[in-house]
Chain A
Amino acid sequence: MRCWSYFFLFVSFVLSLLSRSAFSEVQRFRLDPKESQIATKTKDPFGNLVNGMFRLRQGEAWGDVDRLAETASVSLVIDASSYNSNIGLRDQDVQEYYLEVKQYPVIRLDSTGIQKSERPHSLKEPWQITLKGRLELLESKEK
């Protein structure tokens, strides 16, 4: 009888290890807006480089590290009116006339697929992935 209980204990231990590796859990991540940043570079009409920044409003990502291509998904919401290039008048122009932030207050990125290169040897090494997604200016619901 005692022998059988050891056997069942051993089997359940092995099964728990197998299920852990074969069906890893989906992990969820929420954007840390303070630590995240989006920087832009473009040229002004005189050919000078203009550096700008956008603020991220919210975002989340989830997926199973072992099955990123099948399970991973990302969505980000960028505040279009947060564009800042350190020149107030220019920023106001960009926001009002080019980004039209009153009509399109939000820039949204939604992933449509993720391709992963070879898995690194350890989780401390960076992964190289390719994110396919849809980036769009979202129209305000207020008219």
Chain B
Amino acid sequence: MSVPVRLLYQTNKIIAQGSFRLLLEEFNITVPRLLFLKSGNQVEVDFSIVGERQP
């Protein structure tokens, strides 16, 4: 997978933000269904990851 990330660099921490889409079938996850109705096969993922600088 390839994800564009916006990286904010601060003195004592970094913040990585971005989003990407993935298909459930790529991870061998069965698409949820209710009787004959199927859920979406696509999941949109938004992330905001904060890392604290280590000494």
Contact = CB atoms under 8 A, between A and B. Distances in A.
Interface of A: 27-32, 35-46, 56, 59-61, 65, 74, 76, 93-94, 97-99, 123, 126-137
Contacts, number: 115
Interface of B: 1-10, 13-14, 16, 18, 22, 24, 27, 29-30, 32-34, 37-40, 42-54
Contacts of A128: 4-7
List the 8 closest pairs (A to B, CB-CB), nearest first.
A29-B51, A45-B37, A43-B40, A35-B50, A45-B34, A28-B54, A127-B7, A41-B44
B9 A56 contact: no
A55 to B, nearest CB: 12
A35 B2 CA distance: 24
A37 B9 CA distance: 18
A137 B38 CA distance: 22
A21 to B, nearest CB: 17
B13 A32 contact: yes
Contacts of A32: 13, 50-52
Given A32-B13, A132-B2, A42 B51 contact: no
